[in-house]
Amino acid sequence: MTTTETVDGTEIAYERYGDGQPLILLHGGMASRQYWNPVLPHFEEYAAVVPQRPGFGTCLDDQEETSAEEVLHRETQYVRTLVNAIDGEPILSGHSYGALTAVESATDTVVDAVVAYEPAALPEEYRTEANLAERMSDLLEEGDRREAVKRYIEDVLHPDGIDDLDAWLAEWPVWPGCVELAEEVVRMNRAVERYELPEALDVRVPVLVMTGTEGPAFLRESARSFHNALPHSRLVEFDGVSHSGPSEAPKRIAAEIDSFLVSSRNE
């Protein structure tokens, strides 16, 4: 494990695998850096750089005081720190909230390309009625951390419902860790609920935006909106794949990313 620090002293821990052009893999909201383990074997030609998001499995001195407005700034700041800490011009690849972070970071950070799987943003009709963060916060105040995080699972990961959710969670290896991160998930959701996608994003490098037919409708719509807001973007939809695309179908996702990166170099 390698560490570096942001300008405000926040420690960033990351692992690097292999040689080649750096490929920074940014995990999403209910995950850790282990999220990318199924994908790593398919990126042997790259130097995969896998960080742990600040606050997710790390200690932040001001964790309880971090406002929703500061969350995305904190995310992009740690990505810029990573970009400056590693050799070579990297590719940013993110899933969900990590995808939003990748795109936003690329607006003022020198990178070679961006890959974004279902960036976590809410279309306007969803954003004006969004109250997940508030509902989770109310449950936390009542001392029910488990139920607070279950609201996230139900609204984001399985919006169409799941048979016997409690039994499913009991078999989910990362579930205990997710419950411990309840406050961070609330802050992240507030940031998502308040984020307004501009009509145009000033990202001058090629961007691959991906989505799956089995994911939440609002995230599929978000992916299309990001594609339309980006000047150099390709949109790919995977049939039969959900919001967990990179870990659910790693070979298909990795093959599409590799094809995109090869074609981008040749343009």
How many other C-beta atoms are found inside a 10 Å radius of the C-beta of residue 217? Answer: 11
Q: Looking at the DSSP assignment, which residues form a beta bridge with residue 48? A: 17, 23
Distance CA 100, CA 226 (A): 9
Go through the domains of the chain in sequence order and give each one's CATH number.
2-122+197-266 (3.40.50.1820)
| Tokens representing residue 60 in the block | 């932040």
Q: What mean pLDDT is predicted for residues 112-124?
A: 94
* Structure token digits, residue 49: 């750089």
145-180 b/e (C-beta count within 10 Å ≥ 16 → b)? bebbbbbbbebbbeeeeeeeeeeebeeeeebeebbe
In 10 A of CB 138, how many CB atoms? 14
- Cβ-contact 105, 45 below 8 angstroms: no
Q: How much is the mean pLDDT over the chain?
A: 86
Q: Which helix (H) or strand (E) holds 266?
A: helix 250-266
Count of CB atoms within 10 A of residue 221's CB? 16
Confidence of residue 173 (pLDDT cuts 50, 70, 90): confident
pLDDT value at 55 more than 90 = no
**What is the per-residue pLDDT for 77?**
86
Decide: helix, strand or coil at residue 12: strand
Within its chain, how far is the Cα of 153 from the centroid? 15
More confident call, 173 vs 238? 238
Q: Give the per-residue pLDDT at 46.
A: 94
The reported pLDDT for the residue numbered 155 is 82
Give which of 243, 236, 240, 241 is closest to 257, Cα–Cα: 236
Mind listing the pLDDT tens digit for each residue in 196-223? 899 999 999 999 999 999 988 889 999 9
Average pLDDT over residues 250-266: 91
Would you state the pLDDT for residue 60?
A: 42
- For 19: left if phi > 0, alpha if psi spans -120 to 50, otherwise beta; the answer is beta
Place of tokens 């690097």: 16
Looking at residue 52, its pLDDT comes to 77
Q: How do residues 80-109 score in pLDDT, each as one tens digit?
A: 989 998 988 999 999 999 999 999 999 999
Residue 67: per-residue pLDDT: 57
